[in-house]
Amino acid sequence: MKQNLWNTYCYYIKSKYYFQIYRKRANTIEKTMSIILALISSASVASWAIWNQWAVAWAVIIGGSTLLNIIKSQLPYEKRISAMDYMLPKLINLISEMENYYNSLVIKEEKSITKAQINYDLKEFEKTYNDLRNTFALKNIPEPWSKKISDKAEKLAEEEINRKYNYIRYNFI
């Protein structure tokens, strides 16, 4: 049972890093699109002086800007950023609670807590995690997944656990 708790704890740390990295990436994409749209809007106003010479080019640029604006409003980045801003602090608190719980198990004698109690507590942690994801993180938004981000998150999680627990290797779920 303690191994299941440990594996779940490691998985939540990886999830924390995954969502942090994804949030940063989504924020970069969102800001880049906003900057491009702002630049094109500003340039189109300034282009009145040269409109006659480059009319086709400016028409294409303005049309592209309009299309990007329409696409941007349909992309889930802004909603995901907002959801992750709310979810991440709660996930970090959950991880901290799990860490304290796991450490208390390590200090206590084996007989002072039953496997059934550990299993029950693990199920409560899992319920809290699932509630976080369902309620705040990605409600009505397809969940993002990227192998590159996942690999990076796993590496960061392993580094964190190595710092805290001085273990060599962990098997993440």
Question: Which residue ranges make up each domain of the chain?
Answer: 2-26+77-165
Band of pLDDT at residue 143, cut at 50, 70 and 90: low
The reply to whether the predicted model has a pTM over 0.85 is no
DSSP labels, 132-154: HIIIIISTTSPPP--HHHHHHHH
* Spatial separation of the C-alpha atoms in residues 105 and 59, rounded to whole Å: 67
Say if residue 90's pLDDT is above 90. Answer: yes
pLDDT number for residue 19: 92
Instruction: Give the residue carrying structure tokens 């390590």.
Output: 106
Whole-number Å distance between alpha carbons of 133 and 154 = 19
Phi, psi of 171 (to 5 degrees): -100, 110
The Cα angle at residue 1 between residues 20 and 12, in degrees rounded to 5? 5
| Residue found by looking up tokens 């702002």 in the block | 38
Radius of gyration over every alpha carbon of the chain, rounded to an integer in angstroms: 23
Confidence band, pLDDT 50/70/90 cuts, at residue 107: confident
What is the pLDDT of the chain when averaged over all its residues?
83
Q: For 11-69, what is each residue's pLDDT tens digit? A: 999 999 999 999 999 999 999 988 988 887 777 666 665 666 777 777 787 788 888 88
Cβ–Cβ < 8 Å for 30, 77: yes
* Joined tokens for residue 41: 């809007």
The 3-state DSSP class for residue 114 equals coil
